[in-house]
Every structure is written in structure tokens, then in C-alpha cells.
């Protein structure tokens, strides 16, 4: 019998299709109702923070909206909230329970700024603190590691970008996501067998850039949560500024490199790493990129680069799941973790 985590990973096409059906038009109405703002301030933790990182790129490239990531401890521990003049204040949390994220929206409201909550629980404290709420409609996520709620958060961020953008055609591109995720799942059956090779891996590096900077961090987090491997995420640019010196012969490196603006830079990085003897695991929709890998992890083609994080994370989710099982760990209940984490 498959684990709850595997069931939730495989449910993502259906979940994302349901989210589009329930929320796409409402997201448009929310965007139309927002007062003028100059930038977005997003508060999030963990997986949700990676969805916020995706928004930094998606909102800027699609709509020219600058995104800053909040430092919630300024609002709670330090009691020194910054001025939010001109901000749209956004809280992202699958549970909506974390007090520090709620505090950012409460302060935004106190300062008279528009507030928006993105959560899987429309009755949560985060939702109560917001002027507008977008629900994920992911259903209960029973496994501790977030999968379907993460891709749902990415989809909400993409919908917001598309509705905020003056460019036409973006909403049509977003509608392709459920089918692309389904195709990626169908093409990833080999990951179960490939995971066996890495059962004794103690550490690895995960590299992405641009829109998939977020994917690198989320993939590394899934490996840490589920397999206890010290996976460290970098952008390819930052990795060149020192950390590349740590790579030695046989070291595993995961490259997230779909076709797009960042592809040539990532391709150059792949060549440098191969020359150093690194063992490459490559997540890509490019045959050229996959041909460089010891372990290729293909994604479905057809999505533009700005939406590729929704497919790129899927092989990483599966690798983390199957590696946990290969190591004899329970993928549904990682040690020391709980589904709802409250930080202050």
C-alpha cells in the first residue's frame, strides 16, 4: 500500500485543476479590488517561504511588482515593525496557524495597508487577519511533508501574477499546469529505482536559478525533512562565489534547469561540475540537459519557464519519497516534525 505522501504527490494534478476551477475568477476579482500599492511584502515560513520566493520572480517578470520577504521576528521578538507605506501585505501558510506570520498581517492592517492571506484553512487565524483570503482547496494534507499544498501555493502565486499582468495570454498558460504536472508524474516512474543509488548519501547540493531558485530550496528541504540528508540549496550565481570549491569527485549535485532564460548559465554550470567529477542529477525538460546526467529526472515540456517550478519540483518530491523508503524511514512521519509548526 502506498504511503500518504505518495498519494498526496500523485493527487496534485486533480488538486491543481480543482484550485483553478474554484479560485481563478475570484483571484481576478480580488486583484481588481485591491487599492494601489507599490510593492508586495510577503510573510511565510518553510515551504511557504519558497512559494513566496517564486512570487519574487513571477510577480516581477509578469507584472513588474517588486516583492520583499518579511522578517516576522521584527514584529514579534523585537517589537520593531517597519513602516509598510505602499505595501500589499501577504501571508502564506498552509495551516494559517503560525503567530509570527499572523502578526505581520495584523500590523499591516493596523497601518492601513491591504492584506491578503493564502492558506489551506479559510477559518484559520491568518485568514481572520486578512482583508482577502485565497484558499488552496487542497483537502487535508495528512503527511507531514508539504507537497500538494506547495504546488497549490505556487499556482495561486501564478494566478495572482497573471491577473496583475498587463500582458495577455498568461491565464491561458496557467491553465496548462495540471496536465503538465500529470505528464511529469507519468514520466517519473524510474525515480523509484534511481533512488536506491543514493541511499547512503550523506549530503548533496541543489542548484537552480531565477524562477527555479525556489525549486532548489524546496527540493533541498524535502530531502532534509524526509531523508535527513544535509542538502544545501544555491543559485548557480551564488554557487560560483565560493561554495563550488567544496565539490569533489563523485559528489552528488542536483541541477534544476528547464529551458528558458537561465538555461545557458545552468548548462555552463553543468559542464564545470562534470569537469570536477560531480555526479549530476538533472531536472529538466531539455534532452540536452538530461543527457549530461547520471540520473536524469525529466519534466513535461510545453510550460513557459515562469511556470516550470510547478513541474520541476515533482521529480524532487518523488526522489525524496523513494529515498526515504529505501533508507527504511517512514515518509509520512519524519522524526522530530509535526504538521503544524508555530513560530513566534
Q: Which three cell numbers stand for residue 341?
A: 509548526
| CA 217 from centroid of its chain's CA atoms | 8
Q: Who contacts 316 (Cβ-Cβ below 8 Å, separation ≥6)?
A: 206, 215, 218, 219, 222, 223, 254, 256, 283, 297
Q: What is the CA radius of gyration of the chain?
A: 19
Question: CB-hemisphere CA count at 13 Å for 218?
Answer: 34
Position 337 scores a pLDDT of 72
Q: Who contacts 30 (Cβ-Cβ below 8 Å, separation ≥6)?
A: 116, 132, 134
The closest alpha carbon to 73, from 103, 95, 114, 51, belongs to: 103
For 202, counting Cβ atoms within 10 Å of its Cβ (0-12 exposed, 13-18 middle, 19+ buried), the class is exposed
Please state the domain extents for the chain: 4-175, 187-326
Question: Do 4-175 and 187-326 fold alike per CATH?
Answer: yes
Q: Flag whether the pTM goes above 0.85.
A: yes
The whole-angstrom separation of Cα 204 and Cα 65 is 34
Residue carrying C-alpha cell 494566478 = 159
The region, left, alpha or beta by phi > 0 then psi within -120 to 50, assigned to residue 64 is: left
Q: Which CATH number fits domain 187-326: 3.90.550.10, 3.40.50.10490, 1.10.3470.10, 3.60.20.30?
A: 3.40.50.10490
Are 174 and 158 in contact, with CB atoms under 8 Å apart?
A: yes
- Domain 4-175, architecture per CATH: 3-Layer(aba) Sandwich (3.40)
Instruction: Return the DSSP state at 6.
Output: H
Position 339 scores a pLDDT of 59
Show the low-confidence residues of the chain (pLDDT under 50).
none
Element (H, E) at 235: strand 230-235
Position 336 scores a pLDDT of 76
The closest alpha carbon to 278, from 257, 244, 249, belongs to: 249
Long-range contacts of 128-134 (CB under 8 A, 24+ apart): 129/91, 129/102, 129/105, 130/91, 130/105, 132/30, 132/33, 132/34, 134/23, 134/26, 134/27, 134/30, 134/160
The closest alpha carbon to 311, from 264, 256, 270, 245, belongs to: 256
For 172, counting Cβ atoms within 10 Å of its Cβ (0-12 exposed, 13-18 middle, 19+ buried), the class is exposed
What is the CA angle 339-70-49, rounded to 5? 35
Q: Which three cell numbers stand for residue 155?
A: 499556482
Amino acid at each position: 500500500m502506498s504511503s500518504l505522501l505518495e498519494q498526496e504527490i500523485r493527487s496534485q494534478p486533480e488538486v491543481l485543476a480543482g484550485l483553478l476551477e474554484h479560485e481563478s475568477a475570484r483571484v481576478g476579482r480580488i486583484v481588481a479590488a485591491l487599492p494601489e500599492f507599490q510593492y508586495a511584502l510577503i510573510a511565510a515560513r518553510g515551504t511557504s517561504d519558497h512559494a513566496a520566493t517564486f512570487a519574487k520572480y513571477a510577480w516581477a517578470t509578469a507584472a513588474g511588482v517588486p516583492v520583499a520577504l518579511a522578517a516576522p521576528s521584527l514584529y514579534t521578538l523585537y517589537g520593531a515593525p517597519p513602516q509598510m507605506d505602499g505595501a500589499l501585505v501577504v501571508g502564506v501558510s498552509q495551516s494559517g496557524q503560525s503567530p509570527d506570520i499572523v502578526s505581520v498581517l495584523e500590523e499591516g492592517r493596523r497601518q492601513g495597508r491591504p492584506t491578503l492571506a493564502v492558506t489551506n484553512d479559510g477559518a484559520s487565524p491568518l485568514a481572520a487577519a486578512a482583508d482577502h483570503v485565497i484558499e488552496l482547496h487542497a483537502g487535508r494534507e495528512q503527511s507531514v511533508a508539504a507537497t500538494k499544498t506547495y504546488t497549490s501555493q505556487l499556482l495561486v502565486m501564478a494566478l495572482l501574477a497573471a491577473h496583475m499582468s498587463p500582458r495577455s495570454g498568461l491565464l491561458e498558460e496557467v491553465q496548462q499546469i495540471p496536465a503538465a504536472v500529470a505528464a511529469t508524474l507519468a514520466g517519473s516512474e524510474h525515480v523509484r529505482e534511481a533512488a536506491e543509488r543514493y541511499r547512503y548519501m550523506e549530503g548533496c547540493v541543489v542548484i537552480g536559478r531565477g524562477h527555479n531558485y525556489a525549486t532548489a530550496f524546496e527540493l533541498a528541504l524535502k530531502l532534509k525533512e524526509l531523508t535527513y540528508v544535509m542538502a544545501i540549496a544555491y543559485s548557480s550565481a551564488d554557487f560560483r562565489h565560493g561554495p563550488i570549491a567544496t565539490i569533489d569527485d563523485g559528489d552528488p549535485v542536483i541541477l534544476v534547469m528547464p529551458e528558458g532564460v537561465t538555461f545557458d548559465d545552468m548548462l555552463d554550470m553543468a559542464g564545470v561540475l562534470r569537469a570536477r567529477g560531480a555526479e549530476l542529477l538533472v531536472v529538466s525538460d531539455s534532452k540536452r540537459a538530461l543527457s549530461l546526467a547520471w540520473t536524469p529526472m525529466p519534466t513535461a515540456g510545453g510550460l513557459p519557464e515562469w511556470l516550470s517550478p510547478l513541474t520541476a519540483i515533482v521529480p524532487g518530491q518523488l526522489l525524496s519519497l523513494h529515498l526515504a523508503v529505501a533508507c527504511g524511514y517512514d515518509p509520512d512521519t519524519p522524526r522530530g516534525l509535526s504538521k503544524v509548526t508555530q513560530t513566534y
